[in-house]
Structure 1
Amino acid sequence: MSLPVDAEQALAAFGQCPGWEQRARLLMQWGERLPALREEERCEANRVHGCESQVWLAGELQNGHWQFRVASDARLLRGLLAVLLARVNGLTGAQLAEIDLADWFAQLGLARQLSPSRSNGLNAVLQRMRELAGDAQVP
């Protein structure tokens, strides 16, 4: 499966970082570029459960491809969510089901920095994306 353009850019950018400090700085920059969720999207129905930090997720299907928007109050998590969106935005529901989160963060050189709780939270976000995609396929 070929990668979305944003995912290719993420791999290139993080691949140039010699160490964790540079990756952490880059993560913060990616997080700051996340488009803001509208106030009405920051509601209980869009809150992702299973994250230690507050995370809200909204998604819509456009011509058979998913576009997600996400928000969090935690700076580092916003960066991790931004690189997750780089990987999943533009995918079909079937492609979403095939995403290997651990592999993606390993490719970016970020896997060792993911604590179990942060990993669980990101998996909860991906699971919620898959649920949204699954719900959309029900007639």
Structure 2
Amino acid sequence: MATNAFEDIVEDFEFLEDWEDRYRHVIELGKAMDPLDDALKVPATKVDGCASQVWLHPMIEGERFRFDGDSDAMIVRGLIAVLRALYNGIPVAEVPAVDARGELARLGLNDHLSAQRSNGLRAMIERIRAVASEHA
């Protein structure tokens, strides 16, 4: 069910044996994202439950789900980039059915994030699902 963009990340992770290299790769994915416009960093787009500042700006384009996001923490920007690869471009009706935890486990993220980061990641996924459910 994963997108091609997410499968590309999975392939990259298979070549990176050391977790520190994978961590750096996640950060690089975040650095490669365009920053979210400051005008979109408002309370309505802020995600509660994250240790750092996180904003997600979802968009429904036709029947497709898409979102942009940003954070003041580089690793979290990277996690947003990974979630964008997982969700962007799929039909909005399919968003709630994505097994994000299972897909992210393929990257080993569940085993290597702090409890705070894991909670923040869960909060981002819940926000994505909630927005998609409103528009499905």
Same fold (TM over 0.5): yes
Identical columns (%): 35
- Which residue matches 2:123? 124
Q: What's the offset of the Cα at 1:101?
A: 2.5
TM-score normalised by structure 2 residue count:
0.93
- Which residue matches 1:56? 55
| Counterpart residue identity of residue 134, structure 2 | D
| Counterpart residue identity of residue 56, structure 1 | W
| Counterpart residue identity of residue 84, structure 2 | L
Q: What's the offset of the Cα at 1:27?
A: 0.9
Aligned residues: 136
| RMSD, aligned CA | 1.3
- Which residue matches 2:108? 109
- Which residue matches 1:6? 5
2:34 partner SS:
coil
User: Which structure 2 residue ranges, 5 or more long, are not aligned?
Assistant: none
Matches of 1:110 and 1:82, distance apart in 2: 13
Q: What's the offset of the Cα at 1:64?
A: 0.4
Moved over 3 A (4+): none
Matches of 2:17 and 2:135, distance apart in 1: 41
- Which residue matches 2:71? 72
TM-score normalised by structure 1 residue count:
0.91
Matches of 1:25 and 1:106, distance apart in 2: 17
Matches of 2:44 and 2:56, distance apart in 1: 9
| Counterpart residue identity of residue 110, structure 1 | L
| Counterpart residue identity of residue 122, structure 2 | N
Map of 1:22-33 to 2, 5 A cutoff? Answer: 22-33=21-32
Q: What's the offset of the Cα at 1:108?
A: 1.1
Greater mean alpha carbon deviation, residues 88-97 or residues 70-79: 88-97
Greater mean alpha carbon deviation, residues 21-30 or residues 88-97: 88-97
Q: Deviations over 1:54-83 (max 9, x none)?
A: 100101111201111010001111111111
| Contact 1:48 1:55 (8 Å CA) reproduced | yes
1:49 partner SS:
coil
| Contact 1:57 1:69 (8 Å CA) reproduced | yes
Matches of 1:51 and 1:121, distance apart in 2: 4
| Counterpart residue identity of residue 119, structure 2 | N
